[in-house]
Structures are given as C-alpha cells and as structure tokens.
Amino acid sequence: MTEKLHAPVIAWFDAHARDLPWRRPAAGPWGVMVSEFMLQQTPVSRVLPVYEEWLARWPRPADLAKEAPGEAVRAWGRLGYPRRALRLHGAAVAITERHGGDVPSDHGQLLALPGIGEYTAAAVASFAYGQRHAVLDTNVRRVFARAVAGVQYPPNATTAAERRLARELLPEDESTAARWAAASMELGALVCTAKNEGCQRCPIAAQCAWRLAGKPEHAGPPRRGQTYAGTDRQVRGKLLAVLREAHTPVPQAALDRVWHEPVQRARALDGLVADGLVEPMPGGLYRLPLG
C-alpha cells in the first residue's frame, strides 16, 4: 500500500508543485527555517511579501541575532501569532552562539533550539537537508486520514497513532522520503483540502480509503473553528500595530484609543507584556522589547 502511494504523489508534485522561494536552492536552511515559522497557521499568500522582506534584511541568523527582539516583532507585521517572531529571534541567537551562525543539520540540535518543536525540527531537517523524517502538519495529517484511515478529518490534536502511521509511510530512501514529505504536504494544500476536495485531480483517488468508503461524514469531536472578530487576539493585534508603527515609546492613552472595552483591552495588554512582546516603561509608556 505505502509504495503505491509514493510514486504517484511524488510524480504529481514534480508536475504541479508551486514555485515558492523557500523551495529554491538559494533559500538555504535559514530560508527554510524562516518559512516554517511564518507558515504556521498563516496562508502562503500572506507570508510571501513578509518572507521576502525578512530575508532581504536578515539573510543569515547572525544578522537577526544582532537586532533587538522588538525589531523582529515589528518586521513580522500582520502575520498574526507574533510570539513566533520572538521565537525565531531566539532561535537565531542560539544558532549564532552555538553553531557559528549556521542552521544545524542534526535533528536533535534543531530540536534543542528555543522555539522549535518536533514539527519544525523535522521540516527543516527534511526540506533543507534532505533527511528522512516524518513531517506532520495539518495538510499531511488530512491526506493520511483520508487516504489511509478512511476518515474525513484527523483528530484535533496529533496522536501517537498518526505519528506511527507517518513513520510507516516514509520511503526507506532518504532523498525519496524528503520528496515524499514535501509532496504529501503540497497535495493537502492544493488538492485534498479541508473543503471542496479535488478528488478528480488527486493522483491517489483510486486508492483513497475515504473516497472508496463513500466519503462518510466526520464522526469525531467537533472541529475547532477559528474566530477572530472581538477576541483578545484581535485586541492584541491592534495594540501591537500601534507599537510597530511607533519608533519611540507609546503612552497608555494612545493604546486606549484602539479598543473600546477597557477590561478586555487591559487583559490583552497584560498578555502581551507577559509574553514578552511589549515592554512597559516608567511613566505609563510602552514599547516593543529591546532585550
């Protein structure tokens, strides 16, 4: 079963993969790492302009490490989940201090970097260095759930069974495994999508357990929807926008103007301070973090 999946999916990828800057040889391991941080929960279309600007400004980890962490938050713009910017800055500092400014190729060393979890370590090792690792993002999990497990959606959180299946599906050859990781991810992003799946364009539709079972409706726990309007996350974004655009400390009054509800606004600001994204100063002033 597994080998019958590999060849058609990789062939499809060879023909249909998007030409993305982090897939080009010039991107290097640092470009791959930056893309992986930015693409978490953020679509490619929003990442592309920020990615290009980021790599033009900080082409190597040491270039970013020299900057204040607040500059990473500023450059992150409106990508959302700005703690990723702080984590990427922290990883750049660690790469500079521990690895001479070169992104390590060893999976364990990648995993030991601050802000890098199992997925990112596996993705960088696979996509940047062509190694054999199971790379499980939402798109890959959905492809495996449908093609092999025969269900419409994977569980809300990655399970041990999913990790075991991903390892079982890995091709033995290292370079083929790395290609398979990228190909299965792209298939989930472009064809086997969460809604309006394109089975007529899928290279493994004839083998897909979910399609062969008649596409049964999702029977598991309700899938988590992502809301934004009116949430603390929206308020945090508005507060950060004021600080990103300012190059001097901002008074409380300027932050108060961005959201009408004082309790929620204070809670959001407290959360930003606790997360290290905002630095309070004497006199009721706030700025992006300097250190």
Domain assignment present for residue 266? The answer is yes
Cβ neighbours of residue 117 closer than 8 Å, sequence gap 6 or more: 111
Domain assignment present for residue 109? The answer is yes
Domain assignment present for residue 201? The answer is no
- Can you give the pLDDT at residue 228? 76
Collapsed DSSP state (helix, strand, coil) of residue 280: strand
Domain assignment present for residue 196? The answer is no
Q: What is the CATH number of the domain that holds 91?
A: 1.10.340.30
- Can you give the pLDDT at residue 225? 64
Domain boundary residue, one of 76, 103, 129: 129
Domain boundary residue, one of 129, 147, 168: 129
Range of the domain at 113: 2-129
Domain assignment present for residue 117? The answer is yes
Domain count, the chain: 2
What percent of the chain has a predicted confidence (pLDDT) above 70?
99
Longest dimension (CA), the chain: 67
Overall average pLDDT of the 35-51 stretch: 95
- Active-site positions read 36
Domain boundary residue, one of 63, 96, 129: 129
What percent of the chain has a predicted confidence (pLDDT) above 90?
91
State the amino acid at position 212 in one-letter form: L
Instruction: Note the pTM of the prediction, 2 decimals.
Output: 0.91
Alpha-carbon distance values, 79 to 73, 149, 236 (Å): 10, 33, 13
- Cα–Cα distance, 33 to 26 (Å, whole number): 13
Overall average pLDDT of the 26-38 stretch: 97
Residue pLDDT, tens place only, 119-134: 999 999 999 999 999 9
Domain assignment present for residue 220? The answer is no
Domain assignment present for residue 247? The answer is yes
pLDDT at 138 over 90: yes
Domain assignment present for residue 246? The answer is yes
Residue pLDDT, tens place only, 158-184: 999 999 999 999 999 999 999 999 999
Burial of 222 (0-12, 13-18, 19+ CB in 10 A): exposed
- Can you give the pLDDT at residue 226? 65
- Can you give the pLDDT at residue 210? 97
